[in-house]
Structure 1
Amino acid sequence: MAESTPNPSEVKVTMHPRNRHRMGYDFKALLKAVPQLRPFVTVNQYDNQTINFANPDAVKMLNRALLKLHYNIEHWDIPADYLCPPIPGRADYIHYAADLLASTNNGVVRKGKKVRVLDIGVGANCVYPIIGHQEYGWSFVGTDIDEEAIQSAQKIIDDNEELKNAIELRLQKHRADIFLFAIKPGERFDLTICNPPFHASIKEAAEGSRRKWNNLGLKTGKEKEPVLNFGGQNAELWYPGGEAAFLKQMAAQSTHFAKQCLWFTTLVSKKENLRILYNALQKAGAADVQTINMSQGQKVSRIMAWTFLSTEDQQHWINR
C-alpha cells in the first residue's frame, strides 16, 4: 500500500519553518536529480505521485534523491538492513537544535565549523551530520558501537568532497557507555544529539515491525518475517531495558561532561519516558531542562534538552 504524498502547494505547517521539506516531495525535481528513482514512483488515488513506503529499496532511493536535491550529496548509500531514516524528520531535529543554540546567542542562529556537535549513534546513514553541516556549516563527531555502520558512514564522507574535514567518526568500543570514552578529555561540544533505540529486546523490535506492516495493510506469516520499512540493525532498534533505560544512562553519564557540553539533547519516542528522563536530570543536577515538541503529519515526537551551565556560564561559553 502506497503512502499518500501531499501536493507541493500544501505547506506542512507542523514542520519547522526552515525545513526544506515543508512543501512535501517534489517528484519532478527528485526524478531529475536521481532518475533511478523513477521505477519506484507511482500515482495514488488522489492523483499524486508517491512511492511504496513499505519497500526498503524505494525508501533508500527516495533518500538518495532528497539528499542530492536539497543537500548537494552526490553519493549516498547504506548496507542492506541498516536504518534508512525519514529525511524530513531528521531535518526537523537539526533545525530545532539550531533554535536551541540560538536561544543562548541572543536569538541569532549560530553557523560555521566552530559549532561542534556530537552525534551519538551516527549510524550507517550519517544523515544528521550531513544535514547539520550542509544547512549550518557545523562540524560533527559521530559515534557508533557498530563497526560496519562506521565504515558505511566513512564511505559517505569520503565520497562527498563537501563532507571531508567536517565530520569525524569514532567507534564506541564500550557498548554500555554513551558519553564515556566518546568525549575526549578537555574536548568541548556546543550540542549533542541522539536518536535512541526504543525497544527493550529483539523480540519487541520484531513485534513493532509486524505492527508497522499491519498498519500498512501488509500481511505477515510464518513464511515471511516482516522487515521495518526503514530497516534497522539490533543496536539501532533495541537496548536492554528499552528507551527508558538508555535515557537514564544518558542522563547519568552526561554529568561527567557537565562543563564540556553546552546543550545535551535526545529524541524521546515514548511520551511516558519524558517524566523518567526529567526526574533523572533533576537528580543529576541539570540547571535547565526543556522539552521541544515536533510533528510531521500524524507522527508526534519530542526533543528533550538539558544543560548543567547557568545562564551566566552559557553566556561565557558563547563569548569564548
Structure 2
Amino acid sequence: MPPIPGRGDYVHHLADLLAERNAGVIPRGPAVHVLDIGTGASAIYPIIGHFDYGWRFTGSDIDPGAVKSAQAIIQANPALSDAAEVRRQKSPAHIFKGLVGVNDRFDLTLCNPPFYSSSEEAANNSERKWRGLGRAGARHKRPLLNFGGRDTELWCEGGEALFINRMAEESTTVQKQVLWFSTLVSKESNLPEVYRSIKNAGALDVRTVDMAQGQKKSRFVAWTFLRRADHEAWHSRREANAIRNG
C-alpha cells in the first residue's frame, strides 16, 4: 500500500494550480480530466483525486500486471467505475505517443517517475540507507530494498532525469491537448537538467512546487504551452460543458 499523505499533497497542490487561473476556485467534478502516467497496481492517484475532487482519471502503465490490478480495483469500486480507466502503454520508449488520442483533452498530467537507472543502483542506495541505520549485515534479515515497488516503478534506463527529459520532449506533441503537464522530481540535483529539457521544449510557464510531510521533502515541476488567456478560455469551456451535461 503506497503512503497516502505525500501523494495527497501532490494532488492538492495540483488542485491549487488549476484554481490559480480559475478565479481562485478549484474546479471539481468529472469535467476535470487527469492523466496519471505510471498509475501502478494500486491506482492510488485516481482514488485520491476522485474522492477528494470528483475528477475523472485515465491511468497508464507499461506493466500488464499493474494494468490488470488497477482495472480490478476500479471495477470493484462503483464510485470509481465511471470515473477512471486504465490504458496500457505498449511502448516503453514512449510516454504520450500511442496513448493520447487526437480527441483526448487533459486538464492535468501527473507522474511519479522511476527513481533509479538500474536495479543495481536501487539496491545499492537501499544498502547505504540500511548501513546509515546501523543495520548492515545479513543477520538482520532485512529486505533487499527499504521501500516497495515493481521494477518498472523503481528504475528505468537513464533514471529519473532521462525519463523526465523524454516526457518534456514528447509533451510538445500534445501541447494543445493538455493544460498543465507535471511530474515529481525526487532528486533536487536533477532540477537543472529538468528545467533545460522543459525550456528546450518551448514551454511558456514552468513552476516548481515544494512539498513536505514530516521529515520528507519533495517537489514537483509543472509546465504549460498555453497562454493565460488560453487557460481562462479552457476553464470557461469546461464549466459550460459541465452545465450543459448536467
Aligned to 2:81: 164
- Distance (Å, rounded) in 1 between the aligned partners of 2:40 and 2:23: 33
Deviations 1:200-259 (A, max 9, x none): 111001112223433454334399573334311111001111111011101000000110
Aligned to 2:93: 176
- Distance (Å, rounded) in 1 between the aligned partners of 2:3 and 2:166: 26
Q: Does 1:132 align with 2:55?
A: no
Aligned to 2:242: none
Task: Identify the match of residue 25 of structure 2 among 80, 87, 108.
Answer: 108
Name stretches of at least 5 consecutive residues in structure 1 with no aligned partner: 1-83
Q: How does 1:239-258 map to 2 (within 5 A)?
A: 239-258=156-175
Name stretches of at least 5 consecutive residues in structure 2 with no aligned partner: 238-246
The amino acid that maps onto 1:152 is: S
Give the CA deviation at 1:125: 1.1
- Distance (Å, rounded) in 2 between the aligned partners of 1:235 and 1:224: 25
Paired residues of 2:117 and 2:156 also in contact (CA < 8 A): yes
Corresponding residue SS for 2:156: coil
Corresponding residue SS for 1:291: strand
Q: Does 1:261 align with 2:190?
A: no
What is the TM-score normalised by the length of structure 1? Answer: 0.71
CA RMSD across the alignment: 1.6
Corresponding residue SS for 2:69: helix
- Distance (Å, rounded) in 2 between the aligned partners of 1:216 and 1:166: 43
Aligned to 1:270: 187
- Distance (Å, rounded) in 2 between the aligned partners of 1:153 and 1:216: 34
Aligned to 1:202: 119
Q: Does 1:297 align with 2:214?
A: yes
Corresponding residue SS for 1:278: helix
The amino acid that maps onto 2:138 is: G
Paired residues of 1:99 and 1:109 also in contact (CA < 8 A): yes
Task: Identify the match of residue 198 of structure 2 among 273, 277, 281.
Answer: 281
- Distance (Å, rounded) in 1 between the aligned partners of 2:7 and 2:40: 13
Aligned to 2:241: none
Paired residues of 1:213 and 1:226 also in contact (CA < 8 A): no
Q: CA 1:258 to 1:160, structure 2 compared with 1: closer, same or farther past 3 Å?
A: same
How many residue pairs were aligned?
Answer: 237
- Structure 1 residues 276-285 or 302-311, which shifts more? 276-285
Give the CA deviation at 1:179: 1.1
What is the TM-score normalised by the length of structure 2? Answer: 0.92
Q: Which has the larger radius of gyration?
A: 1
Q: How does 1:1-320 map to 2 (within 5 A)?
A: 84-221=1-138, 226-320=143-237
Deviations 1:273-308 (A, max 9, x none): 111111111111101000000011111110100000
